[in-house]
Structure 1
Amino acid sequence: MHKPIYLTALLWLCISLNCFAKDGYKLWLDYQPIQVPQLKSDVGSLLSGIYFFGENPTYEAIRNELNLASQSMLEKAPVYSKDRLQNTKLWIGTREQLSQVLSLTKQAEIKALGEDGFWRGKVELDGNSFYAIIGNRPVGTLYGTYNWLNSIQSNTFDKSTELADAPKINIRMLNHWDNLDRTVERGYAGFSIWDWHRLPGYIDPRYVDYARANASLGINAVSLTNVNANALIMTTDFMKKAKALADVFRPYGIKVFLTARFSAPMQLEGLKTADPLDPEVIAFWKKKADELYTHIPDFGGFLVKANSEGQPGPHEYGRNHAEGANMLADALAPHGGVLIWRAFVYSHEDEVDRHMQANNEFEPLDGKFKDNVIIQIKNGAIDFQPREPFHPLYGAINETNVGMEFQITQEYLGQATNLVYLAPMWEEVLKTKTYKPSPVSTVGSILEGKETGQKMTLIAGVSNIGTDHNWTGHLFAQSNWFAFGKMAWNPEVTSHEIAEEWTKLTFGLDREVVSKVGEILMESHEAAVDYMTPLGLHHIMGRSHHYGPGPWVMGGRADWTAPYYHQADSLGIGFDRTGEGSGALEQYAPEIVKKWSDPNQIPEKYLLWFHHLPWDFQLKDGNTLWEGIAYHYDRGVKEVREMQATWASLESKIDPEEFDHVKQLLEIQEEEAEWWRNACLLYFQTFSKLPFPDDIEQPEGDLEYYKSLQFPNAPGI
């Protein structure tokens, strides 16, 4: 039965007027109508006469973005000119294409920005002024265009001001932990967006929107598949599928990487070994690399997880990580490919503190890796905990390329039901002083290669993207994708600056909205740490699914149990990693060892990470350790309630669908924060035997009930 004609007409009218409720699909690229008269006039003038200095796929991507932005911001199409001098106001091109109108000084300034850098500002020719967006190559021009559009949406554009920018990190990569069956390990936003079954024949339009979003942040690389790799990705059939994605991403400056399973020679060709020094194995990987580059000429390279959590690697053959990585690097080298080797290695057979194992493996190998190898190191030594001290490998390796691995998906931070803005955590890590290799070194400066001079730099993030229509499950989780891209581009940017920009691009320019959403964002991470793992507690979540509290989890390998990490007993709590304990603290610089060895000097946020202390140990605020733990858990719950109240106050200023979405999830977050508080305090009280402070909300429920909870179908396993 056909729908009435008037309903169809109404539907199309609604589409043309963009009157549907916002659901988050457009991310931060939801170009809203310009409300400021002068800004609208300036932008309208520039978009009424655009000249491109050439044609190529990246310029076509820019043209498409300008079409979309102009229609949405000004409700009219932009105007393009075929003559650079006739009725043109906005010039778009590369430094070489505009060399005739740039002074030698300006050309040198732009050239110094590097291949991804851009400049935008006023240029003059024959007495006429033009606004120009110029890159050293087309993708730099693309980045400059997105930067300009963002400045319009955030009301910071000034046509009389010049702006130049360039990334401080070479490879800015999303790591998808996506499996070939479309499940996503540690994914909480639906299934994988890669439809392997219908590739390469069907190109989902979502792939283009994904590329647009990444390019708008300067993300220039993507690893498509899970680090717990499937060897099938190295077959010709899947290479053709990966090629289809690479073709979509190329105009947006994004290179494709794949995860390589170390045992692939045995699984795909029936070799008896995967020994990296075996000639047949070497030939296998060379052949696979050569074939990949015939399909994807700009293929980025391999990402490898080896000899960790059951993944095969060189240790099975008596070889070390350098020998394993270098074999694969040699296969990629003739094509300019990069081999990224994860430092997340530990063995249940090694009784040494898990915090120490990566350092023990990699520090002795420093300088033995090939030039096209990057060691990808997590931000902390355990596993993406709500808060970790920086990984001691930063500063310990100085003759090998190193890169950062952050986790954008919230495996240990409430998954997609909790609003947790991760940028403050990342900023904390990036700005921490390592004192190695120099007294002024920070994690961020090491990643930029300032002290070591490493030529290949990397910041990677484990993706939080899935098939949910808003991409990330929780609307506010988009801020973490956004913040990751901004920090990968510039590790020195502040989380507050990013929060303000994301809020303006997502919710608009209303001052109250910008202020209050920023307040929610900036308080959310500390709130989560308070109600999950305060004062340096860590790894006390539920087993396998990592959903909710599980400080009682026992059984199996020790370093997958919670008591291994919190060490609670009648005397106190915490993991002693000082010289009198496991000795892990000794892996840091002497300046850190001296300060952090003293429980009265170490930052209290790391206290129980490095010290086992009595329940009556006095904290800086005068409370005992037991009281401090209780106050933190109680405060975390109250902070979530404050977030709820702040969000509720914005109801009249937020799109109804988006408002209700966040409101419901904040209600879930409150319940989960209470669950964490109740379960953890009741459990730890069985050791402390002490009463809870009178002025906190008393934990409710039965500990045995909390212990009995099971979640066999939790997402992301």
Structure 2
Amino acid sequence: MHAAGRRIRRGLRLAACWLAALLPAGPVLAEDGHDLWLRYVPVQEERAADYRARATELVVASATPTGQATREELVRGLRGLLGTAPALAARAGRDGAVVVGTPAGSPQLAALAPDLAALGEEGYLIRSLPIGGRKATVVAANTDRGALYGAFHFLRLIQTGQPLHALDIRQAPKTKVRVLNHWDNLDRYVERGYAGESIWDWHRLPGWKDPRYTGYARANASIGINGTVLNNVNTSAQMLTPMYLEKAAALAGVFRPYGIKVYLSARFSAPIEIGGLKTADPLDPAVRRWWKAKADEVYRTIPDFGGFLVKANSEGQPGPQDYGRSHADGANMLAEALAPHGGIVMWRAFVYSHEEPDDRAKQAYTEFVPYDGTFAPNVLVQVKNGAIDFQPREPFHPLFGAMPKTPLMMEFQITKEYLGFATHLAYLAPLYEEALRADTQVRGPGSTVAKVVDGSLEGHALTGMAGVANIGSDRNWSGSHFDQANWFAFGRLAWDPYLESEAIAREWVKMTFSTDPAVVDPVVAMMMGSREAVVDYMTPLGLHHLMGRGHHYGPAPWVSGGPRADWTSVYYHRADAKGIGFDRSATGSNAVAQYAAPVAAQFGDLATVPEEFLLWFHHVPWDHRMASGRTLWDELVHRYGRGVDYVRGMRTTWDGLAGKVDAERHAQVAAFLAIQEQEAQWWRDASIAYFQTFSKRPLPAGEAAPPHDLAYYQSLQFPFAPGDGK
């Protein structure tokens, strides 16, 4: 070889060595949030040795698709957490085995059958016990689905640093139907979505099944969600055509091993739009035959189809009232079609007609309570947590407790339509917990909304909870890293409505960021106050519906006019020279009368109503003296500023975690918190500038005046804000 050639070869070898020294030894995945709470990063070494000793061998007897998914998850999780995967075996043969299965499928678990009897199809046991004279950890259930849920719980114990000795965990879900509602359109636009396009790539289905669909199923199964409504409640009838049913069937095939059923939003006028009928009257025999045939077709295509979600006679959607029929008539027609297949109807109680009522908050109660006990057994009436529309704070919906003969399904919003979209950090579990713990008092003290939802108050077997999803095509699924916590919290509370929001936050932070107390404690602390901060700088003291028209972005308490009064802000706050607030007491709309007498008495009396609901139920003079000793005006200004100050404090806390949280996620959260502070200040300033035109009072000492006049804030326009309905 010529000398020049040798020099070139030597130079290439040196360059390769130099590059090797710079590059990491193996592939490094960026912490971009895609793995959600299923990161499976190595545990602290002082715990790892003990965990490895208790997971030396893995036995998953079931060869079903769900059993295979369970085995793959445990191998993936244990390899990531412990740095090594346990040996796979057909039977437990050494100390430290993890045995997962059912008594029917694994003789080693047969003795546990009596202990599992009361846990149903989805419950499980996680127990430390000897098998064949050797120490083992058992995850046992009556079904493979229950075993899958137990396996995720077992991995969660390791992720959060819990001890694995002397385990004796017994769990079963307290609600039967735990679903996400996707407000996704067939063109991939997501109504009230702030995380990109819909993850359902309808055009390329059924041929292309994006791997994200499996990731979606894993994440949902890990928190006990067992159903998904694929399409928007403001739906197109095309969803029920053969083309789209085939696409939905492809998704159902991906989700099935993870215990997730597919549901569809059904457009009430579908018999006209795709069926060629001249009516959709639910009492018309031809219409009933059409829906029965359609249900048969759906189940031929998707044998384990869950059922229909329906939005009817609300916001212009067609429904049974178009034909002089009731909500029960409409729901029962669909229930009749689904019943032979085991399907259910989730009929939304979010209704308000074009004939404006005296108070929109009263309409759902008025339309549904007279039909209590007339809905078919496979109908769930799906009720939002509050009577208006997912506001930062609402009192619990008066329907809870008012329909004892009808199972009511809770509907929460996970996507933050009214709480800052994806850029504001607002941990929603305290909102969910507040609603679930509210006491309806219909059976005396302790008759909580949670007991209505889980069926225990009235003995209902069909129960459920729905969450309007915040998931999109963004790499981190939800647009913001902290919005993942709301998806996680919804699933955990749907499984058990009595869990505490702080405990859920602590779990999520440990699984998502770090188990280091120097990270966990401050992050949980800032999360726990974040929703209250949003209430303060957006809608303090019971104010509500003050956002921009249509897109719902930013403050606009001045919105008036348009097609309906109850789509305006002024309809709800009713500020004038005398005071502010919507009088729903006996002297006003009397909406308080829809609650049980003790609750109505509390809410209806200015002296006893909780201050957080003050302006929801009362029109209050500006000089009314608050518990703090301040006047109402001064307290209102104080609350606005307090919300901004809390966001400022969150920024300081998060800045102090630099180096303790991976750089990529830390940078995005920091940027979003900066946006949140700017927008919180905007909410504070615009709201004060507007309401001061009515109060005519000076700002309290030390409170800065808005930097612009009211006309400036009113001039701001946002025609392309994301998430608006089409």
Q: TM-score band, normalised by the shorter chain?
A: over 0.9
Counterpart of 1:316, as a letter, is D
Deviations 1:516-567 (A, max 9, x none): 1001100100100000000000001000000000100011200001010000
1:371-450 correspondence to structure 2 within 5 Å:
371-450=377-456
Note the aligned Cα RMSD (angstroms). 1.9
TM-score under structure 2 length normalisation = 0.95
Deviations 1:416-460 (A, max 9, x none): 110000000111110011001443200001111111111110110
Structure 1 CA distance for aligned equivalents of residues 657 and 253 of structure 2: 42
1:469-618 correspondence to structure 2 within 5 Å:
469-556=475-562, 557-618=564-625
The counterpart of 2:34, out of the listed 25, 28, 33, is 25
| 1:160–1:272 distance in 2 versus 1, CA, 3 Å | same
The counterpart of 1:35, out of the listed 29, 44, 48, is 44
Q: Secondary structure at the match of 1:51?
A: strand
Counterpart of 2:588, as a letter, is G
Question: How far has the Cα of 1:11 moved from its partner?
Answer: 10
Deviations 1:184-227 (A, max 9, x none): 00000000000000000000000000000000000001000000
Matched, 1:197 2:206: no
Structure 1 CA distance for aligned equivalents of residues 18 and 186 of structure 2: 42
Matched, 1:331 2:337: yes
Kindly, what percent of the aligned residue pairs are identical?
Answer: 53
Match of 1:647 in 2: 654
| 1:270–1:572 distance in 2 versus 1, CA, 3 Å | same
Matched, 1:316 2:342: no
Counterpart of 2:80, as a letter, is S
Match of 1:161 in 2: 167
Match of 2:78 in 1: 70
40-49 vs 597-606, which moves further: 40-49
The counterpart of 1:688, out of the listed 674, 677, 695, is 695
| 1:16–1:189 distance in 2 versus 1, CA, 3 Å | farther
Question: How far has the Cα of 1:86 moved from its partner?
Answer: 6.4
Q: Secondary structure at the match of 1:316?
A: helix
Does the CA contact (< 8 Å) of 1:438 and 1:451 recur in 2?
no
Does the CA contact (< 8 Å) of 1:182 and 1:194 recur in 2?
yes
Does the CA contact (< 8 Å) of 1:545 and 1:716 recur in 2?
yes
Structure 1 CA distance for aligned equivalents of residues 167 and 18 of structure 2: 45
Does the CA contact (< 8 Å) of 2:224 and 2:491 recur in 1?
yes
Counterpart of 1:645, as a letter, is T
| 1:532–1:259 distance in 2 versus 1, CA, 3 Å | same
Deviations 1:232-288 (A, max 9, x none): 010011010000000100110000000000000000022110000111111111111
Q: Which runs of 5+ in 1 are unaligned?
A: none
| 1:235–1:176 distance in 2 versus 1, CA, 3 Å | same
Q: Which runs of 5+ in 2 are unaligned?
A: 1-11
| 1:157–1:247 distance in 2 versus 1, CA, 3 Å | farther
Q: Secondary structure at the match of 2:472?
A: coil
TM-score under structure 1 length normalisation = 0.97
Question: How far has the Cα of 1:42 moved from its partner?
Answer: 3.2
Match of 2:472 in 1: 466
Q: Secondary structure at the match of 1:163?
A: strand
Structure 2 CA distance for aligned equivalents of residues 181 and 7 of structure 1: 48
Does the CA contact (< 8 Å) of 2:228 and 2:260 recur in 1?
yes
Question: How far has the Cα of 1:307 moved from its partner?
Answer: 0.1
Q: Secondary structure at the match of 1:133?
A: strand
| 1:86–1:492 distance in 2 versus 1, CA, 3 Å | closer
Match of 2:101 in 1: 93
1:99-248 correspondence to structure 2 within 5 Å:
101-103=109-111, 106-248=112-254
Question: How far has the Cα of 1:15 moved from its partner?
Answer: 8.6
Match of 1:700 in 2: 707
Structure 1 CA distance for aligned equivalents of residues 20 and 549 of structure 2: 48
Counterpart of 1:523, as a letter, is G
Counterpart of 1:28, as a letter, is W
Match of 1:634 in 2: 641
Match of 1:454 in 2: 460
Q: Secondary structure at the match of 1:27?
A: coil
Does the CA contact (< 8 Å) of 2:92 and 2:131 recur in 1?
no
Does the CA contact (< 8 Å) of 1:586 and 1:593 recur in 2?
yes
Match of 1:287 in 2: 293
Q: Secondary structure at the match of 1:662?
A: helix
Aligned length: 711
Q: Secondary structure at the match of 2:648?
A: helix
Does the CA contact (< 8 Å) of 2:101 and 2:109 recur in 1?
no
Match of 1:57 in 2: 65
Does the CA contact (< 8 Å) of 1:348 and 1:559 recur in 2?
no
559-568 vs 7-16, which moves further: 7-16
Does the CA contact (< 8 Å) of 1:42 and 1:159 recur in 2?
no
| 1:457–1:16 distance in 2 versus 1, CA, 3 Å | farther
Structure 2 CA distance for aligned equivalents of residues 52 and 640 of structure 1: 47
Deviations 1:436-488 (A, max 9, x none): 14432000011111111111101100000000100000110000000000100
1:238-277 correspondence to structure 2 within 5 Å:
238-277=244-283
Counterpart of 2:664, as a letter, is E
Deviations 1:597-641 (A, max 9, x none): 221211100000000011000111110000010000011111100
Structure 2 CA distance for aligned equivalents of residues 66 and 276 of structure 1: 49
Structure 1 CA distance for aligned equivalents of residues 222 and 228 of structure 2: 14
Structure 2 CA distance for aligned equivalents of residues 508 and 575 of structure 1: 45
Counterpart of 2:265, as a letter, is T
Question: How far has the Cα of 1:76 moved from its partner?
Answer: 2.7
Question: How far has the Cα of 1:646 moved from its partner?
Answer: 0.6
The counterpart of 1:658, out of the listed 637, 661, 665, is 665
Match of 1:304 in 2: 310
| 1:459–1:24 distance in 2 versus 1, CA, 3 Å | same
Deviations 1:75-123 (A, max 9, x none): 33332113444687121111333465554xx432222112110101123
Question: How far has the Cα of 1:347 moved from its partner?
Answer: 1.2
Does the CA contact (< 8 Å) of 1:572 and 1:614 recur in 2?
yes
| 1:624–1:58 distance in 2 versus 1, CA, 3 Å | same
Counterpart of 1:667, as a letter, is A
| 1:42–1:347 distance in 2 versus 1, CA, 3 Å | same
Structure 1 CA distance for aligned equivalents of residues 631 and 201 of structure 2: 54
Deviations 1:144-168 (A, max 9, x none): 1100101101001323221111111
Q: Secondary structure at the match of 2:248?
A: helix
Question: How far has the Cα of 1:661 moved from its partner?
Answer: 0.2
301-310 vs 547-556, which moves further: 547-556
| 1:287–1:16 distance in 2 versus 1, CA, 3 Å | farther
Q: Secondary structure at the match of 2:683?
A: helix
Deviations 1:483-533 (A, max 9, x none): 000100100000000010000001111111000100110010010000000
Question: How far has the Cα of 1:642 moved from its partner?
Answer: 0.4
Structure 1 CA distance for aligned equivalents of residues 611 and 20 of structure 2: 58
Does the CA contact (< 8 Å) of 1:121 and 1:159 recur in 2?
no
Structure 2 CA distance for aligned equivalents of residues 611 and 11 of structure 1: 71
Does the CA contact (< 8 Å) of 1:99 and 1:107 recur in 2?
no
Does the CA contact (< 8 Å) of 1:115 and 1:137 recur in 2?
yes
Counterpart of 1:31, as a letter, is Y
Does the CA contact (< 8 Å) of 2:96 and 2:137 recur in 1?
no
Counterpart of 2:313, as a letter, is N
Does the CA contact (< 8 Å) of 1:542 and 1:553 recur in 2?
yes
Counterpart of 1:44, as a letter, is R
Does the CA contact (< 8 Å) of 2:582 and 2:617 recur in 1?
yes
